[in-house]
Chain A
Amino acid sequence: MATIEKDSVSGQNTTGHEWDGIKELNTPLPKWWVYVFWATVLWAIGYWVAYPAWPLVNGYTKGSLGYSSRGELDNELAAQKKARSAWLSKIEASDVAAIEKDKDLLRYAMAGGKIAFNENCAPCHGVGGVGAFGYPSLADDEWLWGGALADIEQTIKFGVRNTNANSRQSEMPKFGADGLLKPEQIAAVSDYVVSLASKAPAKGSAGETVYAENCAACHAEDGAGNKDLGAPALNNQIWLYKGTKDAIAAQVAKPKHGAMPAWSERLDASTIKMLAVYVHNLGGGK
């Protein structure tokens, strides 16, 4: 109910609206407030003119300043690239060992390598190189193809078991699937490998003989493995496909083989160097 009345104390009119017996005074706005209001309106109109604002049928108003957020991003990327170029050219000129010795370069490579790793490597090897079933951990101290800086760089560059001519290649025979070993022989050798891993090889067992005849050539007599062949060590606690007897037997019968792309086909040399330094310093580097 809108009844305008005069407030006896202030002499103001009310707005005529009543809420639970309370009436609002129709007090005029301060002048400065009105001015500020119109200033914001003018600002908004100026903004429409200067910046992209209105959607049109086939696009939008571009604004007189020619600003676009895409363009801003391009500028920022270019500025970033310029700022980085001093470091990147240094990295390009040095070899990985020299990068690791230079304190500042090491810090830059660790930061840059981390970003490149998270973008390219983490999907398989996990953030921080934690690894997963079938994808080797890069943070521990076992290396299938060698954990020295040069080995790591080589692996990243050319990958494992891919079509690149320099890629690391090796395959374990399918002892079960191809009938090279009988099931009981596989069971025996799996038992032996389990005992090998716990540093107490079962001397004189049937498995020992099978191992010596079929496995020692690649995995070495004591199970230390062979980095030139990518043959994993069997005498420790680290397993790519689990270390239980069943898992080992499955691997002997019909081995799984991981593969990795040749990153030199996708990344530039300095990124690969930073990656090598980063991975080498994840904790397991030799």
Chain B
Amino acid sequence: MASPKIDPSLKKHAGDGDGPLYAETVMIHPRTVKGTFRNWKWAAMIVLLAIYHIAPFLRWDRGPDAPNQAILADMTGRRGYFFFLEIWPQEVYYITGLLFLAAIALFFMSSLAGRIWCGFFCFQTVYTDLFMYVERLVVGDRAKRMALDRAKWSADKLAKKAVINIVWLIISASCGIGFTLYFGDAPTMLKDIFRGAEDSAVYGTIAVVGGCCFLLAGYAREQVCLYMCPYSRFQSAMFDEHSLIVTYEEWRGEPRKPIRKTETFENRGHCIDCKMCVTSCPTGIDIRDGMQMGCIGCALCIDACNTMMDKFNLPRGLITWDSSANLAAREKGEKTRIKLVRARTIIYVAIIAAVSGLMIFGLSSRKSFDIAVQHERSPLFVQLSDGSIRNGYTVKILNMVREEREFEVTVSGIDGLGLTVVGGKAEGAKATLRVVPDDVGAFNVFVTAPADKLQGKRTPLYFTLRETAKGGSNRLESLFAGPER
């Protein structure tokens, strides 16, 4: 893959001897194009922004004591809610699974259709596109924007720049506010944010997220893709010769040169060197140089080139979304075919299926309660006056249901065990414990065993937790410490 083309302005500054301290940023003002891919991009932007801003307002009834927001990351209550799912902090591995699925889905997407994520769905692309749309409404297309940038400061320029930046700030603020609404009850939060009644952490988050949106989509733009985003650096590892990528059909386009109306396309390539593909590119690259890191696969150059091809009555697709295998086949006049089922795609689908299966299994088989037992280390064990040995444990019972429940804890594994609970009731080797709704109950439990029944320094001991009302139990192995024999 070729490195991004060095901008000519760089060469100018990098004179003899030591170069300049820094490179001048060249603001890229892409030309607006019309076409299929542009339409898809608008559609993707509308759908994505709608999901992002509407999702926090979806409701999901969970009963009187629980929040009724469908998607909610409740930081103070330490719960994650996603429709029917309620995730406790110790179950955060479901998030890990989700992130893993997202990563593999990204690789899968790339192996099929190149950087379709970058070009159409990435939030950087979506917001940059939206910000450019604002510029176009206020100033006009590429030429007018470039002219305005070059122009001396005047009241007109100041007004236009001010309007652009204010609209950008409004969009950025809504982006930041939209983000915070996932962390609290959205309708009340929205009201509180505008009333000035929210926590400073909320305003801080809005400032950081909104500020990043403003800076990255407004001013950093393609530099995010080129310098900050790691994905552009390893995307080529996801491609093979059957991946659909944005390519220039060099065999058909070259030799390129401008054309006059009177000339024909005999003995020359179809590329008329109009630079429409270059000027419409949001990252400012020339796709005719081949696949490169700077290409985000947005396919706007295809729309631009097709427009020109139509004007000259040439077949479309001089720049096209196709695989490099098809590109080679077409050059030789062979049949082209899109090969979606390949070892690479099969492996990705298999990984996605396996991880989703694992997660579904984990979610469907999880219990509404759990037990955790910690053996007391100081003292490791205590000898009682009758010679028997006693161990202390901290037993934690998770009640993941929103009602108070009664649990029965039984110890087994050694003959003649006795159980006592601080502040609770126990009989023989059995204790009945109550845990308040949606909480963890921690109990100090003492287990007594006759010294002659122990196996020495450590004897296995089993805790069994049973829910009194509905049954269902959970067994856990721990140990009983005793004196060395």
Contact = CB atoms under 8 A, between A and B. Distances in A.
B17 interface: yes
A27 B14 CA distance: 8
B199 interface: no
Interface string A171-202: 00000000000000000000000000000000
A56 B473 CA distance: 67
Given A26-B19, A31-B22, A237-B386, A126 B14 contact: no
A139 B382 contact: yes
B22 A29 contact: yes
B223 A32 contact: yes
B35 interface: no
B397 to A, nearest CB: 15
Q: Which range holds the interface residue count of chain B?
A: 35 or more
A234 B377 CA distance: 28
B31 interface: no
Interface in A1-16: 4, 10-13
Interface stretch (A75-83, A89-97, A127-135, A253-261): A127-135
Contact of B23 (A31, A106, A126): A31
A153 interface: no
A208 interface: no
B22 A238 contact: no
B422 A110 contact: yes
Interface string B360-393: 0000000000000000111110111111001010
Contacts of B392: 128, 139, 283
B137 interface: no
A93 B395 CA distance: 31
Contacts of B16: 4, 13
A237 B383 contact: yes
B21 A29 contact: yes
Contact of B385 (A32, A139, A140): A140
A34 B382 CA distance: 66
Contacts of B207: none
A233 interface: yes
A60 interface: no
Contacts of A11: 6, 11, 14
Given A128-B379, A137-B379, A237-B386, A30 B6 contact: no
A32 B220 contact: yes
Nearest to B423: A106
Contact of A238 (B223, B378, B385, B423): B385
B13 interface: yes
B20 interface: yes
A137 to B, nearest CB: 7
Contacts of A103: 423
B121 interface: no
A10 B383 contact: no
B384 A140 contact: yes
Contacts of A33: 22
A129 B446 CA distance: 14
Interface residues of A, number: 37
A29 B377 CA distance: 58
Interface of A: 4, 10-13, 26-34, 100, 103, 106-107, 110, 126-131, 137, 139-142, 233, 236-238, 281, 283-284
A221 to B, nearest CB: 18
A236 B223 CA distance: 80
B384 to A, nearest CB: 5
A61 B377 CA distance: 48
A-B residue pairs, 4 tightest by C-beta? A236-B385, A130-B379, A128-B378, A28-B23
A145 B201 CA distance: 55
B18 interface: yes
Nearest to B436: A103
B225 to A, nearest CB: 13
Contacts of B93: none
B227 interface: yes
Contact of B423 (A10, A100, A284): A100
A128 B376 contact: yes
Contacts of A106: 422-423
Contact of B13 (A28, A107, A127, A237): A28
15 contacts: A13-B17, A28-B20, A30-B23, A30-B25, A30-B223, A110-B422, A128-B378, A129-B379, A140-B385, A142-B385, A236-B386, A236-B387, A237-B384, A238-B384, A283-B390
A7 to B, nearest CB: 10
Contacts of B385: 140-142, 233, 236-238
A116 B422 CA distance: 19
Given A4-B17, A28-B10, A140 B23 contact: no
A126 B378 contact: yes
Given A28-B19, A32-B220, A33-B22, A140 B13 contact: no
Contacts of A28: 10, 13-14, 19-23
Contacts of B23: 27-31
A11 B15 CA distance: 10
Contacts of B13: 28
B25 A32 contact: yes
B444 interface: yes
A137 B382 contact: yes
Nearest to B8: A11
Nearest to B19: A26
A150 to B, nearest CB: 18
